[in-house]
Structure 1
């Protein structure tokens, strides 16, 4: 069964689009597992707690990637693969491309380390479709601020960080054009959802 990942910088609407897509597939009488990262498996719940907790010193980018990769290994082995084998579509909010965008492009983890760890963690369990919900950094900051933002964030630094992450996603789309689809996420949520679904149903190799 097909495996779909929804990617994008904060504020791009990933969670909403994952919900819309899962609902649309279920309306076609398809079995769907909707999941997310980093906390899609039981290890990920602990990793999310570590990543969001106050701590005496910041985690290094390498530590963050290793924690997320441990959660992903458990997610793939314990959740995603069994669901696919059971005949479910799988829709995940974030997957490997988030690690590339955040840890490689934003914080500078080596690309070789990312590739080696990802190969070990994921193997051949890669999405059939990855939808990158694309918005510019200024729009992302405005949307995040409208939701409350993060206390103490410097707007200029937040914009620079979002721009780096966005560039990481766009670079991955350039490298994997058969898997990745860039979707203009400045459109209304219903328009974005329609574009995603039209791509999925337009693929002749997909069992609809």
Structure 2
């Protein structure tokens, strides 16, 4: 099987900046952190609809600015810069490394597939000690459009020389899972939080798992 893993929120924990934000703004941290991530994705959707691609880090920075405005938090520029730098070295979830090792040993092809730039993907994977577990890295920057555009899922097939029937998109992001499924790929939703809800669309993933330990394939 060819397995394309989303990075942000699936392998890498985007809440890794939680403690740093809490030190800066205190009790507003939970809502602030959630809004930052929500707006980051919303801005990528808007950019895709507008055909106005920018590096994903621009969406991240502008989303941070929005969260500051919404919560009336007056962070200094060096504090914002520090949070942005920390976003480059977010930690992996605890279940990731051992299961990537297992899947590689089972003979699957593993690819990192992200809205982030190749430079950002590589930095995150190196920091988390995961880079050697992948056969390659695929960034949407190569097509200049964000997920869930069908263009980027076709790009996965082109890069990996694989076919839809044996190519799986593994992601914790419902829009990504459903986008891949609508395109014709196989998809698996990693429900990282019990509170997460999968959109009730006509497209549904092949499977739902709570951790990567549930990512198994029959031979």
TM-score (structure 1 length as normaliser): 0.38
Which has the bigger relative contact order, CA under 8 A and spacing at least 6?
1
Taking structure 2 as the reference length, the TM-score comes to 0.36
